[in-house]
Structure 1
Amino acid sequence: MAHVRIYNPRVRVANWKEDVTLEEETRKNFILQKDRGELTVQKDGALRQNILKPVSLSVSQDGFLHFGDTVVLVNSGGGEHAQRGSCVLSAPPSRRSPQHDDPLFARTYVDGTSDGEVLRYDQSFALRTTAGFAGKLFLASDNKTFLKCAKKSRLQELSLVEEFDFLCWWKVIYVDPQERLENEGYPVQVNSKVLISHCKTNQCLAALGNHILWTLFGKAYELTAHTILDSHKAERDNNHWLFFMAYPANQNQSLMQLQQDSDTTDEQREKQEDTQIKECS
């Protein structure tokens, strides 16, 4: 027969003194944790308050990306995995493995390069979280090993580190393979699709819609450094990223509105190119 507790500490039988002492200790620990802000509900509230704090994006006066700009990296989603929607590169509560959950912002930075200079295609740079809750961490990666790889996909792992070294170096590549060589050295346009390649491993930043991680903020897509090619040897939409900044005319628009405007601009550009080709033929 299972043990059933019939008496409580107030009856003064059995180990009533020990029970009273345990209840008092539990109450004291609860009050102490509450005063220190260490309760789970307090930590969760403080985390949401800090990590979801609005951050102002840099305003692009000329339409190009500059060193020192505060930007947000967005993957527009779609493609083979229809369930993968638009997502934002962010730093999770663990601050060590970047995923798509809480939208913290990235900052372009590289040692020896002064802020304000234009970032160009194939030029080395680094991505760093803004000062504040994230603590100025650099986005880094390295070749995968048996013990060090992405949690779900087992591909090349990404991490956030405090010390800046060669593992934190990235470069922007033009998205169209046929025009990649011609655009090398040209300024990187904001709010346009690009590839972000790791300098050491030559693997592109990728969002994986078929590998889901669950965080305090809900569903997140696993982030990795892995180039995903289609049948034409071109990078899939998993590797397509946009550096979102604010234009002087639309700096009050939301990210989704900026993305819709960017998609509309791309469609108009494709239509114009098709029209020119037909006229030439």
Structure 2
Amino acid sequence: MAAYRRGVLIGNWSEDACLEEDRLRDFMIKRERGELLTQKISRLQDNLLKKKELSVSQDGFVHFGDTVMLLNPDNRSSVERFPGVCGSLALAINLDGIPVYLAKSLQAPCGVSAVESLDPEGRNAFCILSVDGGAVGEPVRFGQNFGLGTTGGFSDQMLYLASDHKSFIRSAKKSCLQEVFLTDELSYLICWQATFLDPQLRLEYEGFPVPANSKIIITHCHTNRSLAVPRNFWTRSYFGKEYEVVCHTYLDSHKAEEDKNYWVIVTGNPSREDGTMMDRPNPHPSGIRKNAFHEEK
């Protein structure tokens, strides 16, 4: 009895050939439309991981309309408590919450996390927005409401950093504290304020411009809780560890915010198009020029 070879037609060979032609035809159509999964993933990476140029501050302050990064700076206490956690962390869009099949734009609501990558790119670049009528180019002042928007590299939609009181159905996944997320709805939930670092000098600096590249506290207006990175709650992603971001005010024994609540609004490096001011040595270790506020006054 002769053995069958590959050229022998057996079974429903005609139906199988038609199905193969249909699959090939569908593949060609999806490839022309850019609907293949690999194309969507590539498009997602091209936008979220696209290099961004931060705004350069000429006077050392933060202004409405500036494109900046938000960093939770490195600190010794975090290294002592969590030996595996060190270095500054940048606020960024959480990629795990973005469905790849809808990769043409950002979908709200979307999560945020703190990442170790400090290179300005689509996922960690934010725009300072005015919510009370301030003009673009005007400095943001302590105690003044502002918003933080991101496009993630997509030009057709902007999402806004927001938070709300925690409840049984809404809270941070790991810590169960107040959740921070991105939304496309304009409301009081997207309003934030910059607070001076030293609690004893906050009333004196109320109304003065917010310095860039210096440690400050960022407080949510609706809940009066501060933006924070606990650093002991994290998840593993394709890009490494991503740490949970929450709204919670951590106070020490002196009723002052802990370093978990410290943030630095980072601007661009004037000597490098793709660099940041964090790459340059700080001539003022205290983080604030002595006469900056008096000159503005």
TM-score, with normalisation over the residues of structure 2? 0.77
**8 Å contact kept, 1:9–1:19:** no
Distance 1:253 1:37 in 2: 30
Residue among 112, 118, 128 paired with 1:98 = 112
Tell me the equivalent position of 2:118.
none
**8 Å contact kept, 1:8–1:16:** no
Distance 1:8 1:222 in 2: 59
Say whether residues 1:161 and 2:183 are aligned partners.
yes
Tell me the equivalent position of 1:89.
91
The SS at the match of 1:97 is strand
Q: Which amino acid aligns with 1:99?
A: S
Distance 2:5 2:160 in 1: 56
Q: Which amino acid aligns with 1:219?
A: K
The correspondence of residues 40-55 of structure 1 with structure 2, limited to 5 A, is 40-55=37-52
The 3 A distance-change label for structure 1 pair 235 and 37 is: same
Residue among 115, 119, 129 paired with 2:150 = 129
Distance 1:120 1:56 in 2: 24
Tell me the equivalent position of 1:66.
63
The SS at the match of 2:26 is helix
The 3 A distance-change label for structure 1 pair 10 and 169 is: farther
Offset, 1:90: 2.0
Distance 1:48 1:158 in 2: 23
Residue among 261, 264, 270 paired with 1:242 = 264
Distance 1:251 1:178 in 2: 37
Offset, 1:12: 3.5
The SS at the match of 1:261 is coil
Tell me the equivalent position of 2:206.
184
Tell me the equivalent position of 2:168.
146
Tell me the equivalent position of 2:134.
113
Root-mean-square deviation (CA, aligned residues, Å) is 2.9
Give 5+ residue unaligned stretches, structure 2: 99-105, 116-120, 291-297
Offset, 1:217: 3.2
Say whether residues 1:220 and 2:239 are aligned partners.
no
Distance 2:128 2:179 in 1: 20
Say whether residues 1:261 and 2:281 are aligned partners.
yes
TM-score, with normalisation over the residues of structure 1? 0.81
The 3 A distance-change label for structure 1 pair 189 and 11 is: same
Greater displacement, 56-65 / 183-192: 56-65
Distance 1:18 1:217 in 2: 44
The 3 A distance-change label for structure 1 pair 138 and 15 is: same
**8 Å contact kept, 2:71–2:90:** yes
**8 Å contact kept, 1:100–1:222:** yes
The SS at the match of 2:114 is coil
Deviations 1:198-229 (A, max 9, x none): 00111111123222233443321111211222
Distance 1:157 1:128 in 2: 17
Distance 1:204 1:244 in 2: 18
Offset, 1:178: 2.5
Percentage of matched positions with identical amino acids: 41
The 3 A distance-change label for structure 1 pair 252 and 227 is: same
Q: Which amino acid aligns with 1:105?
A: A
The 3 A distance-change label for structure 1 pair 22 and 247 is: closer
Paired residues, number: 262
The 3 A distance-change label for structure 1 pair 9 and 253 is: closer
Offset, 1:17: 4.2
Say whether residues 1:31 and 2:51 are aligned partners.
no
